[in-house]
Structure 1
Amino acid sequence: MQPSPLAAPDASWYDIPGVRLVGAIAGALFLVAAIRAMFGRK
């Protein structure tokens, strides 16, 4: 089985520009959701 020609063998997930941005946005959303769950509903 040959590797895909589109796959870079030495590429890390952190080298892809959008991955860190999406991770930061998702982390912020989870943090806000956790804070609202703790303090938001009475």
Structure 2
Amino acid sequence: MTIFKRQPLRAGNMTRTRASELSLRQSLYPLALVTMLFFLWG
């Protein structure tokens, strides 16, 4: 019996997800992508 359901690394593509509803684990992927693009561009 588990209390918390494990969330996938990425959010689903079928519905729109607000940034405030993402877990820390789910928000790391877009943050890393934006950070890499920022440093590659600048």
TM-score scaled by length of structure 2: 0.42
Q: Which has the higher contact order (CA 8 A, sep 6+)?
A: 2
Higher helix share: 1
TM-score scaled by length of structure 1: 0.42
